[in-house]
Amino acid sequence: MIHVVKIPVKNKTKEVVRITVYCRVSKNIEEQRSGLNSQIAYFKELSNKVIEIDLAEVYHDVGRSGLIKNGRTSYKKMIVDGL
């Protein structure tokens, strides 16, 4: 005779991940500022849709090259805050 043991399914709790977002545009012109707003809105909407994401902070710089750290004050603040 076969003996069957039913193992109950454990409810897995989903781990919430806190994220920080850095958005940047290289030129301080209207088209790029709207692009920056789109970047920020994307991550805010994502955090509202995905239960496992907690958007801790959004940092952004306008008119700064991604190749140079100088002048990117929000980028530097994000690094310091993360430490």
pLDDT tens, position by position, 6-56 = 888 877 777 889 999 999 999 999 889 899 999 999 999 999 998 889 999
Give, in order, the Cα–Cα distances in Å from 31 to each of 34, 40, 41, 62: 5, 15, 15, 12
Higher-confidence residue: 64 or 23? 23
Q: Report all structural domains of the chain as residue ranges with CATH numbers, in order of start.
A: 17-82 (3.40.50.1390)
pTM of the model: 0.74
- Do residues 14 and 52 lie in contact, with contact meaning Cβ atoms separated by under 8 Å? yes
